Copies of this chain bind each other. A is one copy, B any other.
Amino acid sequence: MKFEVTILGSSSATPIFNRNPTAQVLNINEHLYLIDCGEGTQQQMLRFDIKASRIDYIFISHLHGDHYLGLVGLLSSMHLNGRKKPLYLFGPPHLMEIIDLQLKYSETALHFPLEFKETNTEQPEVIVSNNDIIIETIPLYHRIDCTGFIFREKKRLRKLRKEVIEQLEIPVPYFTALKKGLDYTAPNGEVFKNEDLTTDSAEPKSYAYCSDTIYSENYFEQIAKATLLYHESTFLNDMLDRAKETNHTTALQAGEVALKTNAKRLLIGHFSARYKTLNELLEEARSVFPDTDLAIEGRTFYID
């Protein structure tokens, strides 16, 4: 199953030329999920050939402009381009009030159903569960209410051991039960343990998205063992005081989060405009957690 993320924006609140505010697109089994939608997200999607019409889910972490100011424009374009199918939107309680006000004064009645669900910023909550993925909110610790999101592949069914199955001549109608972990009782009454007939499927992969937050161990358990962890990394650690003051994280701390939660790989982003180049941020995070990359515009990362 395809499971990858493309970065559309990597900057924090104030703009810098050629770095855009936060937005990422996940491709999960050829379905697109947009996470945050900073100003300019539509231009970035055009740049990287991502079709807005293929997005069915949008997740907004919080109501700072650099995470959602591209949303109303995107919704308007979907409307103008004739979208009819529903769009599922998840975000903080007041997001819909902002959208409604803007649509009202532009006298726009969307031609497609916009299904909004408020995120709970107090405790983790499963907000989507479909054939491919389970999506849960991650309560974070920012200046205003903020959640991250964790995308976990559904646990697959166990795999049949073909050679054993054939040898025992187990009939096809039993296969689904075996994949679900049941034992097999032969016509002669003999019982075969499931573990002798099947093997476990691969460990489900996960993408943890931790947008704006102060460093806090409170969300560590929830993001443990992420296949790919995205963590904000607004400052270098020499600005730790400023990071604390503004409820942000440093690159060093992002590396520590990855290390302590046993992430497989780390992506850092949400860089302050003060950093014209990003190498120092990368090196700082890598000093703690070597398997780190920069979440910069246009790059696609496979979650495997």
Chain A interface (Cβ < 8 Å from any Cβ of B)? 13-17, 20-21, 39-40, 42-43, 46-47, 63-66, 69-70, 72-73, 76-77, 80-81, 92, 94, 97-98, 101-102, 105-107, 143-144
Closest Cβ of chain B to A151, distance in Å, is 26
A65 and B73 in contact, given A15-B43, A17-B43, A39-B42 (Cβ under 8 angstroms) = yes
Chain B contacts for A70, CB-based, 8 A:
39, 69
A106 and B73 in contact, given A43-B15, A80-B14, A101-B97 (Cβ under 8 angstroms): no
Interchain nearest-CB distance for A145 vs B (Å): 9
Are B63 and A105 in contact (CB-based, < 8 A)? yes
Q: Name the residue on B nearest A40 (C-beta).
A: B40
Which of A47, A73, A77, A80 has the most CB atoms of chain B within a 10 A radius of its CB? Answer: A73
In the complex, what residue of chain B is closest to A42 when comparing beta carbons?
B15
Bound form: Cα–Cα A39–B73 in Å = 8
Contact A77 B40 (CB under 8 A): no
Q: From the candidates B17, B64, B101, B106, name the one contacting A144 in the complex (CB within 8 A).
A: B106
In the complex, are the beta carbons of A13 and B97 less than 8 A apart? no
CA distance A80 to B20 in the complex (A): 16
State whether A43 touches B20 (Cβ < 8 A). Answer: yes
Complex Cα gap A70–B69 (Å): 8
CB-nearest residue of chain B to A62: B106
Q: Do A69 and B39 have beta carbons less than 8 Å apart?
A: yes
Within 8 Å by CB of A101, from B14, B16, B73, B98, lies: B98
Separation of A17 and B69 alpha carbons in the complex (Å): 18
* Residue numbers in B under 8 Å from A63 (CB-CB): 102, 105-106
Between A14, A46, A66, A106, the greatest number of chain B beta carbons within 10 A of the residue's beta carbon is seen for A106
CB distance from A122 to the nearest CB of B (A): 17
What are 25 A-B contacts with C-beta separation under 8 Å?
A13-B76, A13-B80, A14-B77, A14-B80, A15-B43, A15-B46, A15-B77, A16-B46, A17-B43, A17-B46, A20-B43, A39-B69, A40-B40, A40-B43, A65-B106, A69-B69, A69-B72, A69-B73, A97-B105, A98-B101, A98-B105, A101-B101, A105-B144, A107-B143, A107-B144
